[in-house]
């Protein structure tokens, strides 16, 4: 189902779920733009540096980003920047918080993020994640999300992970900045 088709589908699944997929399969324009930036800035390196990618993100993209920093080789992660669309979607700003705190208060959500972050940190490869929010998460302000999970760093070490996310908000056809 395409990104725009989900926006007009009034049915919500009973349980939230998502799929890991190749980044080429992501549909949202915002997410595809983030992927293009990442590819163009990495040059001959395995991935771009945090400074180079973050400096080129336009104001149009910033509301849909989440920047995390791995701590102690991935033992935990700190949320360094959380875009306004994601803050609104979760009704909370995670900036400055640690993933371990999120896992403690919302285990299903936090452990899902941890799995994605670890896959990207350990491999250095970007991945796509597409998900649907079900009736099991009634507090979420959105029903669908398309995400590129992108490694950033120097040399062969991933020192940050950038998620570029486009959301379909509850009651709206298309939110985020896509």
pLDDT of residue 91: 85
Residue 111: the pLDDT is: 93
Contacts with 147 (C-beta within 8 Å, 6 or more apart), sequence order: 26, 31, 128, 129, 130, 131, 163, 164, 165, 166
Condensed to tens digits (0 to 9), the pLDDT of residues 39-68 reads: 988 888 899 889 888 887 888 889 999 999
What confidence score (pLDDT) does residue 141 get?
82
How much is the pLDDT for 143? 87
Of 34 and 135, the structure prediction assigns the larger pLDDT to 34
Residues of the chain with pLDDT > 90, as a percent, come to 52
Where do the domains of the chain lie? 3-169
Per-residue pLDDT tens over the stretch 83-120: 999 998 888 899 999 999 999 988 888 999 999 999 99
CATH placement of domain 3-169:
3.30.450.20
**Distance from C-alpha of 7 to C-alpha of 69, rounded to nearest angstrom:** 31
Mean of per-residue pLDDT scores for the chain:
86
The answer to whether 133 touches 16, Cβ cutoff 8 Å, is: yes
């Amino acid at each position: 189902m395409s990104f725009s088709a989900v926006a007009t589908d009034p049915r919500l699944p009973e349980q939230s779920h998502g799929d890991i997929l190749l980044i080429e399969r992501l549909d949202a324009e915002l997410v595809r733009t983030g992927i293009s930036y990442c590819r163009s800035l990495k040059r001959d390196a395995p991935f771009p540096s945090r400074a180079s990618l973050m400096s080129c993100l336009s104001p149009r993209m910033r509301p849909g980003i989440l920047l995390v920093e791995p701590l102690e080789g991935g033992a935990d992660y700190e949320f360094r920047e959380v875009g306004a669309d994601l803050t609104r979607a979760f009704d909370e700003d995670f900036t400055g918080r640690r993933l371990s705190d999120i896992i403690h208060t919302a285990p299903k959500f936090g452990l899902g993020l941890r799995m994605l972050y670890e896959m990207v940190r350990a491999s250095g490869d970007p991945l796509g994640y597409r998900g649907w929010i079900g009736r099991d998460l009634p507090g979420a302000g959105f029903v669908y999300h398309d995400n590129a999970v992108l490694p950033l760093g120097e040399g062969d070490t991933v020192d940050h992970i950038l998620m570029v996310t486009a959301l379909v908000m509850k009651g709206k056809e298309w939110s985020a900045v896509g």
